[in-house]
Structures are given as C-alpha cells and as structure tokens.
C-alpha cells in the first residue's frame, strides 16, 4: 500500500455529524470508530465520540476526522492536521523522525496502537500537527 497524505479534521463533540455532512457533499463510504470500540478513553462519557472517521469518495478523495477528547486542547479554527499512513515502516519512521525533531514536539509517541498499527502524533517546528500511522500486519477475519 502506498503512503498517502490527507487532511485530518478535529472536532470537539460533533465529528459524527460533520463527517456525515461531508459524506452528503462528496459521496462515498464513511467508516466511523468510537473511543469505546477500542477502549481508548477512561471517561465513559466519551465512549460514543468518534476516535477515527474516514470518508473515501468514489473519485478517490479522502477526508479524516475525529472528536478531540476533553483532556486535549481544542481551539476552533486550529483544528486541522495532516495524516500520513501506509505500510512502508522505514519511509514513515523517516518522516516521523524529521517532523518531530529540530524544534518539533511529540504529543503521542510513535508506538503500537490498540487497533494493531503503529501510531504517533507530533507538531513540527512550524506548528503543523501530524498523525503518522504505520499499518500493522492485517489479520484474517474470524468467523
């Protein structure tokens, strides 16, 4: 799978509504996962919030979005980041090292994630937020 670069939108509590709206605009398939799906929040009130949403249109447009947990900073107008994802671990770790060094800040270390991939978040020296996801080995579905 080639490495892809796409926008990632941040919301506080309305990612489901926003992503559903964007699906009505762009068409395509919408996949939504909640914090509860991955047991990724200690706050039960956040279980139904969107941890990751991905809209893929028929013509190849990809838009991602998620709710921002209450414990993380959320500033309207500063809610877009850039997502890098793929399965080339060497390439993606190289990008991660360059983006998070020389004045960058790691906000979530690049490490194994509950969904089976390697994931991290950082802000580069120019203030741009980056999400890096290295695809893990895909398991065959169980019956």
The one-character DSSP state at 90 is H
The 10s digit of each residue's pLDDT in 85-138 is 999 999 999 999 999 988 899 999 999 999 999 999 999 887 888 999 999 875
User: 143 lies in a domain?
Assistant: no
Quick check: is 41 in a domain? Answer: yes
Return the ∠ at Cα 77 (arms to 44 and 126), rounded to 5°: 105
Does some domain include residue 19?
A: yes
**Does 18 fall in a domain?**
yes
> Is the pLDDT score of 140 beyond 50?
no
| 139 falls within a domain | no
- Tell me if 142 is assigned to some domain: no
Average pLDDT of every residue of the chain: 89
pLDDT tens figures, 6-16: 999 999 999 99
Average pLDDT (26-48) is 92
pTM for the full model?
0.71
Answer with the residue of higher pLDDT: 108 or 140. Answer: 108
Residue 141 forms part of a structural domain = no
CATH number at residue 123: 3.10.180.10
- How many domains are there within the chain? 1
SS3 23: helix
Task: Quote the CA–CA distance of 42 and 17 in Å, as a whole number.
Answer: 23
Per the structure, the complete domain to which residue 19 belongs is given by 4-134
- Collapse the DSSP code of 93 into the 3-class scheme (helix H, G, I; strand E, B; otherwise coil) and give the result: helix
Any domain includes 140: no
């Amino acid at each position: 799978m080639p490495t892809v670069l796409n926008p990632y939108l941040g919301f506080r509590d309305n990612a489901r509504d926003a992503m559903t709206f964007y699906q009505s605009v762009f068409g395509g398939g919408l996949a939504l996962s909640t914090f509860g799906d991955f047991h990724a929040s200690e706050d039960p009130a956040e279980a139904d919030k969107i941890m990751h949403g991905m809209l893929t249109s028929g013509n190849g447009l990809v838009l991602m979005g998620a709710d921002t947990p209450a414990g993380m900073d959320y500033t309207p107008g500063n809610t877009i980041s850039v997502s890098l994802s793929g399965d080339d671990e060497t390439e993606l770790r190289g990008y991660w090292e360059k983006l998070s060094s020389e004045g960058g800040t790691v906000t979530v270390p690049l490490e194994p994630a509950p969904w089976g991939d390697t994931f991290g978040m950082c802000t580069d020296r120019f203030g741009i937020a980056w999400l890096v996801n290295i695809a893990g080995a895909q398991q065959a579905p169980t019956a």
